[in-house]
């Protein structure tokens, strides 16, 4: 029985890593845009991809054992906190260099960054103070969510409490997000709050925990149910945006109920079906290993890490010296950023593997 459990856990990890690999193009499009007249809509629809990462993190963080969960929250906070620190330092450095090259003085730059409102936005709302580097809010919110889960691990071990907190967070996300235009008030000067730990990371981590808890019951449902949730969720997002825009109430496309539906359906299909496939294998037969299962997590993490610096290095020099290249990069958006990042990560991985194996 223990051997079967270990094999099932391995199936989960490999399925999740494979999904992470294929989600990265959508993440890049969500962050850096998409060509065509419908580019803004496509970018908004790709917002389901970051939500999938949150759900996957929650699925593996909630194990059912209180002590084990607390350790997983601590490790998750450590990993995401380190990534956040690295990205913040790199993004700050490249943005500062750009502003200094444009003639902005050090005192003016620091004075603008140290304003109380800017500090509050960055620390509390995960709102990056520069134009380049917005995607850092994903890992910042994930870090905050892990810290909250760790500090209140005893409370979040209860399934009923997790469900109540999750629903409350989704209500906050709805009322301060896409439905903010219906409310007669503004929060901190915003038409809606930026994506943050309450409206984005925490509820989807808890949703991942719910998926982990209910996975056996969900496996009894037809797989087509989870597959259909993806196009239905995206269609719901389009309809929601169209209706709010027609009513003059569309204030953000960063949040949508439909995106959450699509993300949940995709994760449910991948994680539930991988165990179904694994149950058909003899216990002495290891799960099939593919390149995506082995390297998916590595590629996803490193493409995310370097995407903002790569975008900066492509756009800024081109803006000064090659306007046509800058226009091409801006037009192609996430597609060209992803392609460059993938090639860079692939080459580095091949070189490192060659060195480790003694081929160089």
Give the phi and the psi of residue 25 in degrees, each rounded to 5.
Answer: -60, -40
Q: Which of 310, 226, 272, 222 is nearest to 31 (CA)?
A: 310
Q: What is the mean pLDDT of residues 162-187?
A: 82
Alpha helices in 33-65 (DSSP H): 39-45, 48-61
Bin 36: left if φ > 0, else alpha if -120 < ψ < 50, else beta.
Answer: left
**The predicted structure's pLDDT at residue 153:** 82
- Provide the CB-side half-sphere exposure for 89 (13 A, CA): 5
Q: What is the mean pLDDT of residues 23-34?
A: 90
Both tokens of residue 337? 């950023």
Average pLDDT value for residue range 307-323? 71
When mean pLDDT is compared over 53-67, 110-124, 285-299, the highest value belongs to 53-67
pLDDT at site 92: 83
Taking a C-beta distance cutoff of 8 angstroms, is the pair 325, 313 a contact? no
pLDDT category of residue 6 using cuts at 50, 70 and 90: low
In our burial notation (b when 16+ CB lie closer than 10 A, e otherwise), range 118-142 reads eeebbeebbbbebebbbbbbbbbbb
Is the predicted pLDDT of residue 281 greater than 50, yes or no? no
Separation between Cα atoms, residue 16 and residue 296, nearest integer Å: 8
Q: What is the mean pLDDT of residues 214-235?
A: 91
Which residues, in sequence order, are CB contacts of 231 under 8 Å at separation 6+?
A: 262
Sign of CA dihedral 95, 101, 104, 106: positive
CB-CB neighbours of 242 under 10 Å: 12
Residue 232: which residues within 8 A CB-CB, separation 6 or more?
258, 261, 262, 265
Residue 66 has a pLDDT of 65
Query: Does residue 167 surpass a pLDDT of 80?
Result: yes
The residue among 225, 214, 237 whose CA lies nearest residue 265 is: 225
pLDDT score of 2:
43
What is the spatial distance between Cα 97 and Cα 244, in angstroms, rounded to a whole number?
40
**pLDDT reported for residue 320:** 59
Q: Is the pLDDT of residue 75 over 60?
A: yes
Nearest to 338 by CA among 41, 32, 36: 32
Residue 12 CB partners (closer than 8 Å, separation 6+): 59, 60, 271, 274, 275
For the entire predicted model, the pTM comes to: 0.89
CB atoms within 10 A of CB 328: 14
- Report the alpha-carbon distance of residue 247 to residue 249 in Å, rounded: 5
SS3 113: helix
CA–CA gap between residue 31 and residue 43 (Å, rounded): 7
Q: How far apart are CA 216 and CA 209, in angstroms?
A: 13
Q: Residue 221: its pLDDT value, please?
A: 87
Query: For position 21, what pLDDT does the model report?
Result: 93
């Amino acid at each position: 029985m223990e051997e079967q459990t270990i094999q099932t856990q391995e199936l989960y990890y490999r399925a999740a890593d494979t999904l992470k690999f294929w989600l990265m193009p959508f993440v890049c499009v969500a962050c850096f845009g998409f060509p065509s007249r419908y580019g803004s809509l496509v970018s908004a629809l790709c917002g389901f991809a970051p939500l999938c990462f949150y759900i996957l993190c929650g699925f593996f963080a909630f194990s059912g054992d209180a002590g084990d969960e607390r350790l997983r929250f601590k490790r998750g906070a450590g990993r995401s906190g380190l990534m956040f620190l690295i990205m913040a330092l790199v993004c700050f450095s490249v943005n500062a260099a750009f502003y200094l090259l444009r003639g902005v003085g050090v005192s003016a730059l620091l004075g603008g960054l140290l304003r109380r409102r800017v500090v509050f936005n960055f620390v509390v709302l995960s709102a990056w103070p520069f134009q380049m580097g917005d995607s850092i809010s994903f890992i910042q919110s994930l870090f905050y969510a892990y810290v909250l889960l760790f500090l209140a691990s005893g409370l979040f071990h209860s399934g009923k409490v997790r469900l109540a907190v999750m629903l409350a967070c989704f209500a906050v996300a709805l009322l301060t997000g896409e439905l903010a235009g219906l409310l007669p008030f503004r929060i901190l000067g915003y038409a809606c709050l930026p994506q943050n730990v309450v409206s984005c990371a925490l509820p989807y981590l808890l949703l991942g925990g719910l998926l982990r808890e209910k996975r056996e019951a969900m496996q009894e449902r037809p797989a087509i149910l989870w597959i259909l949730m993806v196009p239905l969720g995206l269609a719901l997002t389009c309809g929601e945006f169209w209706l709010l825009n027609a009513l003059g109430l569309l204030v953000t496309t960063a949040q949508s109920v439909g995106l959450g539906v699509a993300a949940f359906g995709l994760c449910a299909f991948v994680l539930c079906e991988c165990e179904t496939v694994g149950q058909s294998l003899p216990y002495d037969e290891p799960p099939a290993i593919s390149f995506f299962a082995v390297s998916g997590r590595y590629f996803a993490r490193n493409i995310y890490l370097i995407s903002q610096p790569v975008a900066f290095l492509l756009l800024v020099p081109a803006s000064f010296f090659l306007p046509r290249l800058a226009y091409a990069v801006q037009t192609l958006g996430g597609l060209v950023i992803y392609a460059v990042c993938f090639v860079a990560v692939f080459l580095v991985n091949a070189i490192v593997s060659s060195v480790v194996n003694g081929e160089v």
